[in-house]
Amino acid sequence: MKHLYSTLLLLSFISSTISGQDNLIVNAYNRSTISIDGEWHYIVDPYENGYYNYRYEPFDQQPAPWASAFFLNSKPQDSTDLIEYDFDKMPTLQVPGDWNSQSPELLYYEGSLWYKKSFDYKQLNRTKRVHLYFGAANYKAEVYFNGQKLGTHIGGFTPFNFEVTDLLKEKDNLLVVKVDNKRLKEGVPTLNTDWWNYGGLTRSVQLVETASTFIEDYSIQLKKGDLNTIKGYVQLNGEAKAQSKITLDISELKVSTSLTTDTNGRANFEIPIQNLKHWEPGNPYLYTVTLSAEEEKVVDQIGFRTIETRGSQILLNKKPIYLKGISIHEESPLRNGRALTPEDAEQLLNWALELGCNYVRLAHYPHNEHMLRLADKKGLMVWEEIPVYWTILWKNEATYLNAENQLTEMIRRDKNRASTIIWSMANETPNLPARNIFLNKLATKAKSLDDTRLISAALEQKDYPGIANTRTINDPFADVVDVLSFNQYIGWYDGLPDKCSKISWKIDQDKPILISEFGAGAKAGYYKDKHTRWTEEYQQHLYEETLSMIDRIVKVQGFSPWILVDFRSPRRVLPEIQDGWNRKGLLSEKGEKKEAFYTLQKYYNYKTTN
């Protein structure tokens, strides 16, 4: 009965997410915006007294909200009023930012926390529309503006927005957000992960200004498999969206195309292009693309490239390419907590380039948009993933809808980024009938949203039946993906590094193979010998043996070891070694390079010249 109640609650939450939230505005990055980042007052509310009455009924669903409802920010009218909270006397947190790293008392906190921000809006112009845009909030956000509930969003790593045009005031606007990062059995991810559950408004909050009829969404990419045709669509939002004129300009290519929207405000197009400079590592060429509607103009920087497979090869712009990668978590090497800024992204991607990478796997969730736009500029190919991780409730409809919504929001935000070449459906999930149905539906959804990129998932390797010391991929989802990817930890969780030389591989699928993870833990500065775990020598030895094994695997077209930088994880408790950190990084959390960094760097340099 309890499980049924939880499921019904989550279905209600997902319904609220879909109905309360506006369609995501793409390219908030380059639009007219007003930041409302900075210091926000907060109240920690583990019992959710500011949300529920004593009968456990939500205040925002009652006919007459009580003064106890935090979203009203009530103030005593006289000395007889009983109000048991006061945002303005509470401490502050920085937004964007996770609460865990900003207050020692909140390091392990999982629960509800209320944010409050008051601001003026002097640009009030009733001909404009204004949207409240959140880069991300982990995990469930209830958003209230000037006393009215805007809606609910579920999912800790994708953006969402609400229109607030008719609610805005010139002075004293009140924005209150309840963020709840409790792990849920029904959630995506579920209860059990191997990374830190950073809570809060972890990405920027902005007001996005648009015209009354505005460019809500667009896709501008090369047609699948065609190096010389740009294909896509533009979607308008507003009363004048039907039969409206739009101009698409790429001045450097001398392209100026006039489009007319249909009755739904959508215009599709295909444009043949001559002398196009294709985006690729080493030459990440970006064009300035301008979309002009009758009331507004949107500019983006877009690279054009094709990505496809042929047998066991991955083809970038019709040419085979080997993916020299590394996996990355969204943690800051410059501060203690969630990576937030362009500077954080710059440091992480510069380390990947120094390592010799042309490719990064962003694990295990969509990262900040800074990462994708910098990857575009730096010429790094990207694997993006949603947190369908380990074992979740495969048969739960609400869980699936949650995963699909996160996938949709990720693709909608990043579909114009040339760097993104792979959408990943999952990581290390069990081969079960219900799971296979779940992932197949996600794959179908991804292809319906974007057929120009490859899909994959980090699968698990198995023993090949009847052949000793031989591994294979025995998973029906391997027949669905474009690129067959798997994680393997021979030498760490599976024997010692010398075992790599004894293992052979027999993979029957005629597809490109990526090894999405391998690695070993090492405490930076701990030296002894290559047979002692946690030493830099052990990690380096495992890399040497694994790289030699990879060279013997037919069809391998690249890999992304686990992981670039040590990252926080409550699972990792070994004193004096882990102390709450996963130590598989090639750099420590302080940016210290381990010996294995140079081993992989040498290998990638060899791959570049041979």
Assess whether pLDDT exceeds 50 at residue 558.
Answer: yes
Residue-by-residue DSSP string for 292-336: E-SS-EEEEEE----EEEETTEEEETTEE--EEEEEE-SB-SSSS
For residue 572, count other CB atoms closer than 10 A to its CB.
18
Which of 305, 330, 355 corresponds to the end of one domain?
305
Rounded Cα gap, residues 363 and 567, in angstroms: 12
* 39: confidence class by pLDDT, cuts 50, 70, 90: very high
For 477, phi then psi, to 5°, come to -70, -15
8 A C-beta contact, residue 440 and residue 429: no
Q: Is residue 269 part of a domain?
A: yes
Rounded Cα gap, residues 371 and 375, in angstroms: 6
**Domain identity same for 369 and 499:** yes
Assess whether pLDDT exceeds 50 at residue 17.
Answer: no
**Domain identity same for 446 and 375:** yes
Sign of CA dihedral 87, 93, 99, 102: negative
Residue 114, token pair as written in the block: 């209320």
Per-residue pLDDT tens digits for 180-232: 999 999 999 999 999 999 999 999 999 999 999 999 999 999 999 999 999 99
Residue 494, token pair as written in the block: 């599976």
Rounded Cα gap, residues 229 and 222, in angstroms: 6
8 A C-beta contact, residue 579 and residue 523: no
Closest C-alpha among 115, 100, 570, 156 to residue 335: 100
Residue-by-residue DSSP string for 391-451: S--TT-HHHHHHHHHHHHHHHHHHTT-TTEEEEEEEES----HHHHHHHHHHHHHHHHH-S
Q: Is residue 579 part of a domain?
A: no
Q: What is the pLDDT of residue 20?
A: 63
* 367: confidence class by pLDDT, cuts 50, 70, 90: very high
Average pLDDT over residues 366-374: 97
Average pLDDT over residues 58-65: 83
Which of 245, 274, 305 corresponds to the end of one domain?
305
Q: Which domain holds residue 450?
A: 318-519+537-565+593-609
Assess whether pLDDT exceeds 60 at residue 4.
Answer: no
8 A C-beta contact, residue 55 and residue 8: no
Assess whether pLDDT exceeds 90 at residue 587.
Answer: yes
**Domain identity same for 473 and 503:** yes
* 63: confidence class by pLDDT, cuts 50, 70, 90: confident
Which range (16-20, 536-540, 545-549, 562-566) has the least confidence? Answer: 16-20
Task: Kindly report the CATH number assigned to the domain that includes residue 229.
Answer: 2.60.40.10
Assess whether pLDDT exceeds 80 at residue 276.
Answer: yes
8 A C-beta contact, residue 452 and residue 414: no
Assess whether pLDDT exceeds 70 at residue 3.
Answer: no
* 65: confidence class by pLDDT, cuts 50, 70, 90: confident
Q: Is residue 216 part of a domain?
A: no
Closest C-alpha among 190, 240, 206, 536 to residue 394: 190
Which of 305, 326, 351 corresponds to the end of one domain?
305
Rounded Cα gap, residues 593 and 27, in angstroms: 35
Residue 257, token pair as written in the block: 């195309």
Residue 56, token pair as written in the block: 């456990």
Rounded Cα gap, residues 151 and 603, in angstroms: 50
**Domain identity same for 199 and 247:** no
Q: What is the pLDDT of residue 411?
A: 98
**Domain identity same for 273 and 352:** no
Secondary structure letter of residue 525 according to DSSP: T
Q: What is the pLDDT of residue 334?
A: 77
Rounded Cα gap, residues 33 and 19, in angstroms: 24
**Domain identity same for 151 and 177:** yes
8 A C-beta contact, residue 506 and residue 467: yes
Q: What is the pLDDT of residue 12?
A: 45
Average pLDDT over residues 491-515: 96
Residue 94 sits at the vertex; the CA angle it makes with 349 and 36, to the nearest 5 degrees, is: 95
Assess whether pLDDT exceeds 90 at residue 126.
Answer: no
What is the number of domains present in the chain?
A: 3
**Domain identity same for 348 and 448:** yes
Q: What is the pLDDT of residue 127?
A: 79
Average pLDDT over residues 338-352: 96
Task: Kindly report the CATH number assigned to the domain that includes residue 331.
Answer: 3.20.20.80
Assess whether pLDDT exceeds 70 at residue 2.
Answer: no
Q: Is 72 helix (H, G, I), strand (E, B) or coil?
A: helix
Task: Kindly report the CATH number assigned to the domain that includes residue 121.
Answer: 2.60.120.260
8 A C-beta contact, residue 565 and residue 585: yes
Q: What is the pLDDT of residue 1?
A: 37
Q: Is residue 15 part of a domain?
A: yes
8 A C-beta contact, residue 540 and residue 596: yes
Average pLDDT over residues 363-389: 98
**Domain identity same for 258 and 184:** no
Average pLDDT over residues 443-455: 97
Q: Give me the chain's average pLDDT, please.
A: 94
Q: Is residue 310 part of a domain?
A: no
**Domain identity same for 130 and 182:** yes
**Domain identity same for 127 and 250:** no
Q: What is the pLDDT of residue 13?
A: 44
**Domain identity same for 274 and 382:** no
Rounded Cα gap, residues 169 and 146, in angstroms: 9
Cα end-to-end span (Å), the chain: 62
Rounded Cα gap, residues 229 and 271, in angstroms: 5
Q: Is residue 327 part of a domain?
A: yes
Average pLDDT over residues 302-328: 98
Q: What is the pLDDT of residue 185?
A: 96
Q: What is the pLDDT of residue 610?
A: 67
Average pLDDT over residues 37-65: 92
Rounded Cα gap, residues 199 and 296, in angstroms: 36
Q: Is residue 215 part of a domain?
A: no
In order of 178, 248, 304, the CA distances from 537 in angstroms are 47, 56, 43
Average pLDDT over residues 397-408: 98
| Residue 587 CB-density burial (10 A; 0-12 exposed, 13-18 middle, 19+ buried) | buried
Q: Rg of the chain over CA atoms, in angstroms?
A: 25
Q: Is residue 414 part of a domain?
A: yes
* 372: confidence class by pLDDT, cuts 50, 70, 90: very high
Q: What is the pLDDT of residue 448?
A: 97
Length of the chain counted residue by residue: 610
Assess whether pLDDT exceeds 70 at residue 504.
Answer: yes
**Domain identity same for 72 and 135:** yes
